[in-house]
A and B are shown apart, each in its own frame.
Chain A
Amino acid sequence: MTPDLKGIVIIVGNYGSGKTEVAINLAVASHAEGVAGVRIADLDLVNPYFRTREARHQLHRLGIDVVLPPEKYLHADLPILSPDVAGMIKQPGPLNILDVGGDHVGANVLAAVADAFGDKPPQMLQVVNPYRPFTETVAGCMKIRREIEAAAKLDMTGIVGNANLIDETDVNVIYEGHRFVQRFSRESGLPVAFVTADVGLMTDLDPDRLACPVLPIRRQLVPPWGRSANLAAG
């Protein structure tokens, strides 16, 4: 069961929670499920490396529209926001994914485009990896939720469980992470939109142990000695 999302979906979360991998792979999975007109915008003004823009060529080849600052500013010391983002929000396609920078600092950018949302509140999903500092407790996740909502001037609408230790992830990490986001869900009242699992673990996962959709992750943000996964596979 893959996630079924439409309209404007904003991906937020604490620094390093895995928002960009989630955003890229959600775009690809939705495109593969037949959603025509998937667009993804890189709003990360916080991270200097490892951003959505690293996967732009693969996404373009699949026919997914990537909204980015002009090429010559891609490695600017002070990252900039493309004016095309407001246009995308005002005239959304079937699925519009906004990949936002980490923490409330990264979410500040949403207040800058708030007018474009008009009176239609978008979906805003909080990505949680309980193996990251500051979100290893539900209280930590609740604090980050409050800070992001205040900075973005938007309400959180769901949770994405992204438990992983990159190459050292096994199915138990996924099950543990799933239990963790269920606890966060109970205490926050937010539904779990989906959890993620590396595509290599999908066959080992018991779907009966996961009470929500699972987004397979083909890892894109890899160091220079690794190789990013082929987004077109499967």
Chain B
Amino acid sequence: MGKVLMKGNEAIGEAAIRAGCLNYFAYPITPQSEVAEYLSRRLPEAGGVFLQGESEVAVSYMIFGAAAAGARIFTTSSSPGISLMCEGISYIAAAQCPAVFVNIMRGGPGLGGILPSQADYFQATKGGGHGDYRMLVMAPASVQEAVEMVMTAFPLAEKYRNPVMILGDGLIGQMMEPVEFPDDLRSEPSNKDDWATNGMDTRRSDKRNLVKSLFLDPDQLNRNNLALKAKYDRMNREEVRYETYHMDLDYRVLIVSYGTMSRVCRTAIDNLAEEGIDVGMIRPQTLFPFPVQQVHDAAQKQSCVHVASIEMSMGQMVEDVQRALQGVKPVSWYGKCGGDVPTPEEIMEFVRTLL
């Protein structure tokens, strides 16, 4: 199959099918409704099931049920819809079921607006729902990367038996770029027989599998939380992904930026280089686990006098950047969160003020 021109939302839908996920439950919301639109056409062709729930709360528990039964499952929504799903996500994490959630972020809080945003960083990486759980969070910067991350998300969710989130801003969902898909289905075998309630006859086992999130015995609850913590510690050790830009130069400013915001930063960095101002960038591809060590090490470079977190929010990722730096270099935040994406010129102006 050659290249095709796709909206991010359509490509995310197609990528899920290519990853062997034939179950999709969702509720429409701008700016991600094209995933549902696309899959309502494509899933029946592929032999799959698309079900629209009566609300995002309902969808999150439909996902829980399907995941507990061992089905490969995902959903997509946008910020207010994800807020409604957070309760179900907490239950799914507690019960150690794999599922993939895609958030195509719009402006908030509240109903906010329909334009792009990155203001759900805290919600995705620090909780959202209640209790001691984490999601593995990946942030694509292009439509092609969204495809690759969706295809990676399913095996990761199954490896850790934990929800995985793809965190894209509205632009990732709405913009069109040429993309390529692998010809073959990349459907890895699932480990579901070890834990899913898929029937003892089906898996030819005499062992009962039990999926639950209620642990009234304090020792049992503590043990469950320790098991979850061990998984999140392992993610921190093994799953950090990031990309660098201009890091071989003697950069004076280090930018940390993710998603489509990082592409605006690239243009600003190229323009600043022409002015003789060298700037480097780390783009976290995983937001949890955050590349703590990598950002810390990059800031240690002798030439680097300042670190800037540039985001389409009022300063959320900047807290992880500060945590990574432990005070070794000054950190600033720059961003906007009304729907207008900061321009390359605005970023250049901000970087100049740091020098």
Write out, one digit per residue, whether chain B residues 8-41 have a CB within 8 A of any chain A CB (1) or not (0).
Answer: 0010001000000000000000110010011001
Q: How far is the CA of A47 from the CA of B263 in the complex (A)?
A: 23
Determine if B7 is an interface residue (Cβ-Cβ < 8 Å): yes
Closest to B32 in A: A48
Q: Which residue of A has the minimal Cβ distance to B343?
A: A224
Q: Would you call A49 and B264 a contact (CB within 8 A)? A: no
Q: Which one of B7, B30, B176, B344 has the highest number of Cβ atoms from chain A below 10 Å of its Cβ? A: B176
Please name all residues of chain B whose beta carbon is closer than 8 Å to the beta carbon of A132 when the two chains form the complex.
4-6
Q: A3: CB under 8 A from chain B?
A: no
Tell whether, in the assembled complex, residue A77 and residue B114 are in contact, meaning their CB atoms are under 8 Å apart: yes
Measured between alpha carbons, how far is A164 from B6 in the docked complex, in Å?
11
Given A75-B339, A225-B263, are A133 and B174 also a contact pair (CB < 8 Å)? no
Instruction: Decide yes or no whether A131 CB sits under 8 A from chain B.
Output: yes
Interface hits, B236-286 → A, CB 8 Å: 260, 263-264, 266-267
A223 touches B175 (CB 8 A): yes
Q: Is the CB of A133 within 8 A of B10?
A: yes
A223 & B30 in contact (Cβ 8 Å cutoff): no
A117 within 8 A of B: no
Nearest CB to that of A77 among chain B residues? B114
Which residue among A134, A167, A224 has the maximum number of chain B CB atoms within 10 Å of its CB? A224
Residues of B in contact (CB 8 Å), total 36
Nearest chain-A residue to B341 (Cβ)? A224
Name the B residues within 8 Å of A131 (CB-CB). Answer: 3-5, 178
Asked if A30 lies at the interface with its beta carbon under 8 angstroms from chain B, I say no
A75 and B115 in contact (CB under 8 A), knowing A15-B34, A165-B178? Answer: yes
Q: When A49-B170, A166-B177 are in contact, do A225 and B4 touch as well, CB less than 8 Å?
A: no
Which A residues touch B113, using CB under 8 A? 75
B43 interface hit (Cβ, 8 Å)? no
Chain A residues with CB below 8 A from B308, complex form: none
Q: Given A75-B114, A223-B260, A225-B264, does the pair A133, B171 have CB atoms closer than 8 Å?
A: no
CA distance A49 to B260 in the complex (A): 15
Min distance, Cβ A5 to any Cβ of chain B, angstroms:
25
Task: State the Cβ distance, B148 to closest chain A Cβ, in Å.
Answer: 18
Whole-angstrom distance between the alpha carbons of A133 and B9 in the complex? 12
Give CA–CA (A15, B206) in the complex, Å: 51
Per DSSP, chain B at the interface is mixed
A225–B175 contact, CB under 8 A?
Answer: no
CA distance A15 to B9 in the complex (A): 12
Chain A positions within 8 Å of B42 at CB level: 133
Which B-chain residue is minimally distant from A131 (CB atoms)? B5
Taking CB atoms, residues of chain B closer than 8 Å to A77 are: 30, 111, 114
Instruction: For the complex, give the distance between the alpha carbons of A50 and B173 in Å.
Output: 12
A213 interface residue per 8 A CB criterion: no
B66 → chain A, closest Cβ, in Å?
26
- A129 beta carbon closer than 8 Å to chain B: yes
Question: What's the least CB distance linking A137 to chain B, in Å?
Answer: 13
> Distance (Å) between the CB of A139 and the closest chain B CB?
13
Contacts of B176 in A (CB 8 A): 16, 166
Contact B177 A225 (CB under 8 A): no
- Mask of A120-162 contacts with B, CB within 8 angstroms, 1/0: 0000000001011110100000000000000000000000000
Closest chain-B Cβ to A197's Cβ sits at a distance in Å of 15
A206 in the interface (beta carbon within 8 A): no
Q: A165-B5, A225-B266 are in contact. Are A48 and B174 (CB under 8 A)?
A: yes
Complex Cα gap A166–B6 (Å): 10
Query: Can you name the residue of chain A whose Cβ is closest to the Cβ of B106?
Result: A48
Nearest to B113 among chain A residues (CB) is: A75
Known: A16-B5, A16-B7, A166-B177. A133 touches B38 (CB 8 A): yes
Complex Cα spacing A132 to B41, Å: 14
Residues in chain B near residue A71, CB distance under 8 A: none
A168 CB within 8 Å of chain B: yes
Output the least CB separation between B27 and chain A (Å): 15
Residues of the A chain whose Cβ atoms lie less than 8 Å from the Cβ of B342: 224
Complex interface residues of chain A between 45 and 101 (CB less than 8 A to chain B): 47-50, 75, 77
A160 → chain B closest CB, angstroms: 16
Determine how close the nearest CB of chain A comes to the CB of B146; give it in whole angstroms. Answer: 14
Instruction: Report the bound CA distance from A47 to B151 in whole Å.
Output: 26
Please determine whether B175 and A50 come into contact, CB atoms closer than 8 angstroms.
yes
A11 and B226 alpha carbons, distance in the complex (Å): 60
A49 interface neighbour in B5, B31, B38, B111, Cβ under 8 Å: B31
Residue of B nearest to A165 (CB): B178
State the Cβ distance, B7 to closest chain A Cβ, in Å.
Answer: 6
Partner among B4, B171, B178 whose Cβ is within 8 Å of the Cβ of A223:
B171
Known contacts A75-B113, A225-B263; can you find 20 more A-B pairs with CB under 8 A? A16-B6, A47-B174, A48-B174, A49-B170, A50-B174, A75-B114, A75-B115, A77-B30, A131-B3, A131-B5, A136-B4, A164-B5, A165-B3, A166-B5, A166-B177, A166-B178, A223-B171, A224-B341, A225-B260, A225-B267
User: What 6 A-B pairs are tightest by C-beta distance, nearest first?
Assistant: A224-B341, A165-B178, A49-B174, A225-B267, A225-B263, A225-B264
What would 9 A/B residue contacts be, using CB atoms closer than 8 Å?
A: A48-B114, A48-B174, A75-B339, A133-B42, A168-B3, A223-B171, A223-B175, A224-B260, A225-B264
